[in-house]
Structure 1
Amino acid sequence: MRVADFFCGGGGFSEGFRQAGFEIVFAVDKWGPAVKTYKGNKPGVNVIQDDVIRISELPDDEFEALVPDSEVIIGSPPCQSFSHSNKSGNADKSIGIQLIEAYLRIIARKKFKQKSVLKYWILENVPAVKQYIKEEYSAADLGLEGDFVLRPHDGASGKYNAKYFGAPTNRERYLCGEFPEPIRVKNDNNVTTLKQVLDSLGNPLRTDNNLITDINYPDLKLEAQQVTDQHYIYELAEFECKTAKRLKQDKGYMGKMSFPENLNKPARTVMATMTASAREAMILGYGENSYRLPTVREAACMMSFPIDYWFYGESKGIKHTLVGNAVPPKMSYALAKAIAKAEQIPIPNHYPQIKHDKDIGFVDLNGRKFAVRAEKPRRDVAKFKYHIPYLIIDAYRVELTNYHSDFTQKIFKWDAEIHYSQGKEKAKKYTPALKIKEIPEKYHESIRDYLSRIKPTVTDMDSFQKVYCMTSEQRKPTPWEGPYELLDSIREYIDMLLTPKEQTEVVVIGEEPFSLPLAIVIGYYILTAMVDFMGGSK
């Protein structure tokens, strides 16, 4: 059966169909490195660099001349605008909707024309996309003539997780269209883990040339040094690790994430941007108290790309984008297998190795040296909003912020706030004028002593902003502490002063919210005193 692939990327969606013996007759993507990667791994396929929206609106004769007929059409419109990780799900959806409607327009033009051969079509995207795809589209909805209705959500449409189809990644996606339901090959008891992926490839700095057996395709074996984009290390700087750990394990009310990664589960969703200082960062242990990012090859194996698949990018970042934006080949193979079964078509018994296009130049990261990233100063108008670390009790936390500053005039104002819960309905903010007498008297002397010790480490509010914008090295010779260091110090003091049980004891205060856990009261009182001190010394 023939397959056409729209928004083909580096070829992950097509790869599963290739492995199942389907004939790929057409592919298109707008991004040059994706088209190059597709051509390099699938010589002979008619793959073009073009705009799918433009193609979808071509006159009939031009459209039919460019896009060949096929029994199967697959497509994965770019999903960034629909992802919950993009601006917390509030990104502009208009371009994403245009891309989806362009794809559906192509489906309709092939499906409802005379003598159509199209039997199956699939759209893949993040789960949140479902609410932006209508239940049905008339010809007029898609800017076409006719009286047909296209119903994208019928049949086997639904959410599918790639880990149940053999890919070693916890990657949930929404699939819709007309296709038979793919059959799971894994369950929660036998999914492929991140540890199995890393063990199969071995130490990235290995120098031997022993055979590597592909964790996803056991009959595919390559000599270690033949495996591309694997033999290098991207080690993280200390400041990157601190930032990532804080975002992963102490990000307000978002759930805690493993740091480093939990090797006994499938990999988390592989991102298109392999960043370090982010909550979504995928961080691996590297020696004692050191950490690194996955290699391009490790990420590709997590996505179930075979180890003979090459990513034709000029840089590590481009290669990671090619991997992270893809449809896992194991997922697409399951879909291809279900279609083949429905059509009673046999599929190959063994993995068909890739024959690369030798005329396309390839950049291999093996042996590349990557310097540990140097910390850079923040912009002088950098914003700050964070709470006393790892101190959230009964949904309360104490935050330090400069959000109320005049950033245009560069007049900085730091504030202490008590925040409760999160979300539009539940979140509340309190700024009571707390007096020390509202704290049990037995703690007064210790609190005063602590404040007398910590006050000399800060100065006025504008200078506090300057310290915040310094790098760790720039700050070392100074006597000053920045906001993170101040919050860390307060947390350490509270742990020294109060037992875990005492931290949760309820204290009555004179203003809203009228009662708070003791640790929150003391933390807020100290932070308020420090803010007042900085304001009073100007």
Structure 2
Amino acid sequence: MNCIDLYSGIGGWTLGMKLNGINHVKSYEWNKDSNRTHNMNFGTNTKEIDIRKLDFKDLPEIGSIDFVVGSPPCTQFSYANKGGGGDIQDGLIDMYKFLSVVEYLKPKYWAMENVPRVKNILEKVLNNDSKFKRFKKLFNYLEVVDSSEFGVPQKRKRMIAGNFPYQLFENYKEHANNKTLGSVLNSLKKDEIIDPIYGYKIPKSELTDHIIEEPLNYEELRLNRESKEYHPVYNGMSFPENLDKPSRTITSTCTRVSRESLIIQNGIGYRRLSVRERGMLMGFPVNYQFYGKTYNSKLKMIGNAIPPVVTYYLFQSMLETPVEKLILIDKADKYIHEAPLEPIPITPPDKVKNKYRSKRSFRLAIPEYRFGSGVRFELSNKFNEDLCSWSIKFYYGSSKKINQVVFSDKQHNQILKILEKQNIDIINELLSLEQYSQKLSSEKLQAKWIHKDLDYTHPYEVLDKVSDFAVKIKGLISNLELSDEKFSEIVGEKLNSKLFDNKELVISGIITGYCFNKNIKQ
């Protein structure tokens, strides 16, 4: 059987072919580092090509190709790009080109992979777009697949579309051996490393791309934990990662403090994953080499790849292998990789920053005021040209509609009058909060945050101290009697249920935020 792969990346499709004994005719890829990685691992000599400009005369002869597969770029479709605001029409250019090649070559079977969002996009254009309608007859499958169900140690959901014996493909899940994040990490700790998916064995001395990154420092650790466990809008994540399950999705980009980064416990500290750990979680063998020129280039290549474990089973279905004759991937004939023609680039991970740009932003919810569902009191900074100001803000709503309560003298006095009428005394706590806030300044907080002057109070300390004040005030007003109508008059319109369920906490947060903003030196 003969196969080509379009937008072939670093070889996730090609490895699946090789493990099935399918003849790899040619790959088509535009990214230089990805193409080089493909060539170095498979001994191919393909040149980079812009597939959008591919002339059909340069394709194999019609009827000579049994399978066409590939992964058109997902950048414009991914929610990770501009919050899902990529140029979908631009992304569809590659989809159109891919389907045009399938239509032209008339293979027996074909398959395409992309991010889950593309399922709905493709369904829409196949039914409504005059350019795409003619391709609808090419499809017999358009679904979102969880890679971990096929034995990938990563819970990676991807759209798989095409025309192939999909019932066989889906039935293979029942027989795949499930793998976990821990199975990958533990395999790399031994003197003889046994690949948990393929069974390949190599001595530890031959292991590459496994440079362990510096542990997260105090700032990075808290930012990671806050963004994962207490994100104001999105669902919470485990921190650190759960080793007894497949990992979360490996992304093409992440930083030491991004929400998408996978953090594991490393002794008494915490760290990100190495390039090798990411590659194995994506389903590439321990002896597969990555030829990116930089650390971030390797992360990008791996994050954009398709797990070869998934392509292995896709090709098994294209070969029409009955379930009872299915050969699991660890029992497949091992593919012997070509000896590297060039040294593997040594790419150390990012160093911990000691200095930051003067306009480094800060935005974290006050610990006791993280309500979830978009509701939070937070400490943040903002810039008006070169002038930086720090303050507490109160937000409620959803990711699509965020409302801000602006603290005012009128609002503050209104609350104090209600408390006075009900003989609730918070004067001493307010005086303490005023005195504490007067010792702070936006200039010094920013200087500490950018590491310009380390003698000043850290913003994290301010967060925790303000949280303590707010909790004390909340305790003093725990018997506050306040109707829903009066509460809405004080706070604002279109309040959600979380606010009504936490009236005392909201009122104490407003008082605290007002007092802090009034007294910090700007």
The interval holding the TM-score normalised by the smaller chain is 0.7 to 0.9
Aligned-pair distance for 1:392? 3.1
Aligned residue identity for 1:456? Q
The match for 1:122 is 111
Paired residue secondary structure (1:335): helix
Paired residue secondary structure (1:25): strand
1:56-113 CA-to-partner distances (Å, cap 9, x unmatched) read xx2x534558x994111111011122112222212222331222222122222222xx
Aligned residue identity for 1:317? N
Aligned-pair distance for 1:330? 0.7
Aligned-residue CA RMSD (Å):
3.4
- Distance in 2 between the 1:70 and 1:286 partners? 48
Verify the 8 A CA contact 1:340 1:346 in the aligned structure 2.
no
The match for 1:424 is 400
Aligned residue identity for 2:512? I
Verify the 8 A CA contact 2:29 2:35 in the aligned structure 1.
yes
Map 1:7-406; keep pairs closer than 5 Å.
Answer: 7-43=7-43, 45=44, 47-55=46-54, 58=55, 60-63=56-59, 69-111=64-106, 118-133=107-122, 134=124, 136=126, 141=131, 149-151=134-136, 154-181=139-166, 182-183=169-170, 185=172, 191-202=178-189, 210-218=191-199, 220-230=200-210, 232-288=212-268, 290-341=269-320, 349-364=331-346, 372-380=351-359, 382-393=360-371, 396-402=375-381, 406=384
1:237-286 CA-to-partner distances (Å, cap 9, x unmatched) read 33222221121122212111111111111010011124211001111111
Verify the 8 A CA contact 2:30 2:49 in the aligned structure 1.
yes
Paired residue secondary structure (1:389): strand
Aligned-pair distance for 1:379? 3.2
Tell me whether 158-167 or 491-500 shows the greater mean CA deviation: 491-500
- Distance in 1 between the 2:392 and 2:3 partners? 59
Verify the 8 A CA contact 1:180 1:339 in the aligned structure 2.
yes
Aligned-pair distance for 1:523? 1.8
- Distance in 1 between the 2:146 and 2:366 partners? 37
Q: Identity, % of aligned pairs?
A: 24
- Bigger helix share: 2
Paired residue secondary structure (1:212): strand
Tell me whether 156-165 or 345-354 shows the greater mean CA deviation: 345-354
The list of structure 1 runs, each at least 4 consecutive aligned residues, that deviate by more than 6 angstroms after superposition, is 137-140, 187-190, 343-348, 503-507
Verify the 8 A CA contact 1:235 1:292 in the aligned structure 2.
yes
Give the TM-score normalised by structure 1.
Answer: 0.82
- Distance in 2 between the 1:189 and 1:352 partners? 17
1:482-528 CA-to-partner distances (Å, cap 9, x unmatched) read 4x543332113334555699599977545244865212211221211
The match for 1:528 is 514
Aligned residue identity for 1:162? S
Paired residue secondary structure (1:198): helix
Paired residue secondary structure (2:104): helix
Aligned residue identity for 2:88? K
Aligned-pair distance for 1:135? 5.0
Aligned residue identity for 1:242? R
Aligned-pair distance for 1:398? 1.9
Paired residue secondary structure (2:490): coil
- Distance in 1 between the 2:28 and 2:261 partners? 30
Paired residue secondary structure (1:10): coil
CA change 1:287–1:517 in 2 (3 A) is same
Verify the 8 A CA contact 2:154 2:247 in the aligned structure 1.
yes
Map 1:402-481; keep pairs closer than 5 Å.
Answer: 402=381, 406-407=384-385, 410-412=386-388, 416-424=392-400, 427-431=402-406, 433-435=411-413, 436-439=416-419, 441-459=423-441, 464=442, 467-468=445-446, 470-471=448-449, 473-478=451-456, 480=457
Aligned-pair distance for 1:10? 0.5
CA change 1:475–1:190 in 2 (3 A) is farther
Aligned-pair distance for 1:481? 5.3
Verify the 8 A CA contact 1:4 1:73 in the aligned structure 2.
yes
Give the TM-score normalised by structure 2.
Answer: 0.85
Paired residue secondary structure (1:141): coil
The match for 2:497 is none
Verify the 8 A CA contact 1:3 1:23 in the aligned structure 2.
yes
Aligned-pair distance for 1:191? 2.9
Verify the 8 A CA contact 2:469 2:512 in the aligned structure 1.
no
CA change 1:72–1:504 in 2 (3 A) is farther
Structure 2: give runs of 5+ residues left out of the alignment: 494-499
